[in-house]
Structures are given as structure tokens and as C-alpha cells.
Chain A
Amino acid sequence: MKKLVAILRNHYAKLLTVVGFLFVWQLVVMILGIKEFILPTPITTFSYLFIPELASQYDWFTHIETTLIEVLIGFSATAFVGVFVAVVMTWSRFLRQIIMPIITLFNSLPKIALAPLFLLWFGYGIIPNVMIAFLISFFPIVINTIAGLNAVEEDLLDLVRYLHASKWQVLVKIRLPNSLPYIFSGLKISATLCVVGVIVGEFIASTQGLGFLLKSAQGLMDTPPMFASLILISILGLSFFGFITLLERWVMPWQKSQQQP
């Protein structure tokens, strides 16, 4: 309870902004008499989520579950593969010279444009969306981790070289712990990008998920569920981002994390 109060005290400005925003939105729609299919009120929007008669038209749980699973798979794949590739590239000069140009090439590509191709290759379903999310969020992690692995004090390296440390010891005891802040700031960027990737994938190639719901409701000019999905997507993205911030604090309690990665 005490903790809750402390959290409330720290974040009351944000809460107030959100509540104020919803309040102004409601008032503006009511006063200007905006039609529902253009901009529904927040109350209408939330009633589509919580009032059983309205909510039952849309299979909210299935859609939320699909999007959540896609984001989680995409993100864990990126995190593990990304850090691994970065470690490999730091380990071997030869591999770095081969992989780096390819990463530079792909990084300059608007990866989202590849989405329809994945749809073509893998068909409808979870896989293309996970692949898109993976591809979009992969590079920030690799680039950040490499930067972290290399941002080691030269003196420290000289010292352990003098003590005959093996390459493995240097990696595990110096380079990896040193790169943790960089890895986490990469993970934070990737968390948002993962959600973006999944949603865009669902826009163009899906029969399930919040992105699909958003796009198909747009086709029917059914606006309230669009805003409801938008709110759910934002909550999903935010809680994911928050989860990584918590993890960061837990792994590195000594590090004061940046708000902005």
C-alpha cells in the first residue's frame, strides 16, 4: 500500500495528463456534436471494451492474445539473436568484417517494406508478423550491444591482458557487464519497434490481432472499436516498455536508467 502511494506520488502528473486528456476529448465531442463514426467519445470507446453486449461482437480476448503472443515471440527472438550476433561480431574480427556491411545494408533498408514479401513466403498467420517484428527490432539491439561491448576502458583491458586473462574471461567479466546499459537501451527501442512490426504485419496480413481489428473496423467505418484497439495497443506497448525498465532496474540496481533510450 505504501509502495502504491509512492508510485502514485511519483507519477501523478502523468496520470493527471491522461485523465485530463480523456476529459477534454469527451467534452469536445459532446459540445461540438461530432458524429460517432468520425470521433467517438472515450465513454463510447470504453463501453465497447467493457459492456458485455457491445464487447461480445468483437472477440477481444483472441485478438489481444494473438498480438501479445506475436510481440513476445518476436521480442525474445530479437533479444537473444541480437545479443548473440553482437557478441560473435566482437569476438571475431573476420566475422565482423563480413557481417557489418550486411547489417549496414539492411539497416538502411526500410524493413517494413519487406512485410508483404513475408506474407507471400510464409502465408497468413503468426509467422509473417513475428518475422516482421523480428526484422524491424533486430538492428537496434545489435548496434547497441556492439557499441557497449566495445566501450570498455583501455586501461582495464591492458590490466587483464597483463594478468593473462583469456578472451572468454574478458568477454564474460568485463565486456558483457559493461555493455548491459547499452543492451537495455537497445531492448527499449526494440520493444516499441516490435509492437510496431506486429501491428503493421496485422494490418496487411492477418485474420486475427488488434492490428487486424483496427484495419477491418476501418473498412466498415466502425470507429469505436478502432479507438478501443488503439488504446489497447498503446497499453500493450507501454506495459511492455515498463516491464523492460523494471527488468533493467532489477538487473542493474546501481544504474540510473535514461528515460529516453
Chain B
Amino acid sequence: MGHAVAKKPTTTLSGKTFNTIKRNYQTPFVILIFFLIWQFSVVIFNVREFILPSPLSALEHLLLPQPDANYNWSVHISATIYAVIVSFAATSIIGIAIAITMAWSRLINDMMLPLFIFINSLPIIAIAPIILLWFGYGIFTNVLIAFLVAFFPVVINTAMGLNEVEEDLLDLVRYLHASKWQVFAKIQFPNSLPYIFTGLKICSTMCVVGAIVGEFIASDRGLGYIIINSQFTMDTPPIFASLILVSLIGVVLFGLVSVSEKIVMPWHQSEPIPR
């Protein structure tokens, strides 16, 4: 019995972190093994570099300053980050604002929401070449493509969150003569927060996708440009280096959204992977 009592404080000291590690320890472990297997199978089977470079050689391309470096990494990285951040900011602000305007009037909401859902089920990315035709090469084109791809999930999620309020609650505050603004600020908006964050999470992934596809077809800068350009020259290590960087950008943005979700709604338990 004495042992049990003595042990307790040591586990509660960092109990929370310990539990998190215990729950998630396999994830980094399996990912590490994945990279190890990749590295060893490339080395053992002697896979040519232009087919599949080892993870180490991809990292090497990124980290070591080479005399024959083909790419000015910092320019390309900042171009992609710029496109992703600007489009994410624009999408979330404009998307949420439009959803709120829609929620203000039942009529507009009933007219617009089905239309947005309809557009969202279209392959929007197919419009990219037309955007390129209209606005020419450049970062603005990429931002616009990313915006168009990521915009609708945010609007739809926010609008749905604003609409899904318990009728009883609305009846109650109507009885108490709440103003429209009060209903919005105290009931609808807090209620829609989980939906907004789900929308923002989808948006964070879509913005990266939009920016990369934009760079594939319409750019002379950015990580997507490196990927497509290296593909022509069969120079695979930069492709993998860019893939790692693109994923990092996506994961960091997604993480930022998740962290702010936890800060804004500490009580809410969200799904680890949004569906």
C-alpha cells in the first residue's frame, strides 16, 4: 500500500504530458520506422536516385549549401508560404463574413446555401487555367486559385453552424425579447465555433493544395514550380525536398488552427482528423 501512495505524486507531476505521450507514442515511432525502411531499402536495393532518392539525400539537398544548387530555396519557400497565408487569411475572413451575412436573413440563406453546396461539389480546381488566362503568371493567380478552392468549405461550415441552433433556446430568448444582435452574438456565433474551426481546418489543407496546383500550371516561383520543373529534368531529390517542405507548411498551418481551436474552445473535443 505504501508503495502505491509514494508513487502517486511522481506520476501526477507530469501526468497529462505522460498520458499524451502514452496515447500517441506509436505515431512518431511508426513514422520513424517508415523513413528508416525507405532509407534502407533505397540503399540495399540500390534504387537509382532519379527514381527514388533516399530521405537523407532529399534532406541533403535542402540543408547543405551546394555550389551547384539549382534552386534558391528561400525565394521559392517564401513564395509558397506567402500564397498559402494570404489565401488562408482571405478565405477565412471573407468566408466567415459572407456566412454571417447569409445567416442574417433567412431568405438569402435559403437561396445561397444550396447554391454554395452545389458549387462545392464541382471540381473547382478545373478553373485554374482560366484564372491563369485572365490574370497572367504571378503570385496573385496562385492566391486566387487557392482562394477559390478553399472558400466554399468555410462558408458552408460556418453557415451550417449558425443555422444549427436548438429551437427551444431560440424560443426562450425570443420570449425574453432578445435583439437579433444578442441572439447572434450570444447564441448563434458561439454555437457555430466548432463548425467554423472544422471549416478552417479543411481550408488550411485546401489552401496548400490550391497554391501548389497554381504553381504547377502558372508560376515561375514556389515549391510547386520546383516540383514540376525538377520532374522535367528527372531531378528527384529536390522533388522530395519540396514535398517535405510543402507538407511541413500544411502541417504547421493545420496545427495553428488546431491550437487556436483549443484556446478558443477549451471545452470542445474535436476529431483528430477532420472528415
Contacts and interface: CB of A to CB of B under 8 A. Distances in A.
A and B interact physically:
yes
Interface of A: 13-14, 17, 38, 97-98, 100-102, 104-105, 107-110, 112-117, 119-121, 140, 143-144, 147, 185-186, 188-189, 192, 195-196, 199-200, 203-204, 210-211, 214-215, 217-218, 221, 223, 226-227, 229-230, 233-234, 237-238, 241, 259-260
Contact of B122 (A140, A221, A223, A237): A237
Contacts of B26: 97-98, 100-101
A52 to B, nearest CB: 25
18 contacts: A102-B34, A108-B254, A110-B208, A113-B212, A114-B243, A116-B230, A120-B51, A188-B121, A189-B275, A200-B125, A200-B216, A204-B228, A214-B126, A218-B129, A226-B130, A227-B130, A233-B123, A260-B120
B30 interface: yes
B192 interface: no
Interface in B1-52: 26-31, 34, 50-51
A218 B132 contact: yes
Contacts of B124: 196
B156 interface: yes
Nearest to A105: B31
Nearest to A119: B231
A120 B231 contact: yes
Nearest to B133: A218
9 smallest A-B Cβ distances: which pairs? A116-B231, A218-B129, A101-B30, A101-B27, A195-B123, A196-B123, A110-B208, A233-B126, A109-B247
B126 A199 contact: yes
A187 B130 CA distance: 29
Contacts of B129: 203, 214-215, 217-218, 226
B63 to A, nearest CB: 20
Contacts of B236: 117, 120
B114 A259 contact: yes
A21 to B, nearest CB: 10
A102 to B, nearest CB: 6
Contact of B212 (A112, A199, A233, A238): A112
Given A188-B121, A215-B129, A234-B122, 10 more contacts: A17-B115, A98-B30, A101-B31, A105-B31, A107-B273, A109-B246, A115-B216, A117-B243, A144-B275, A192-B121
B216 A215 contact: no
A110 B246 CA distance: 7
Nearest to B224: A113
B217 A204 contact: yes
A110 B250 CA distance: 7
Contacts, number: 146
B217 A203 contact: yes
Given A105-B31, A203-B129, A237-B121, A112 B251 contact: no
Interface in B31-77: 31, 34, 50-51
A237 B123 contact: yes
A164 to B, nearest CB: 32
Given A102-B34, A215-B217, A140 B209 contact: no
A116 B239 contact: yes
Contacts of A186: 275
Nearest to B215: A113
Given A120-B234, A120-B236, A200 B213 contact: yes
A143 B272 CA distance: 11
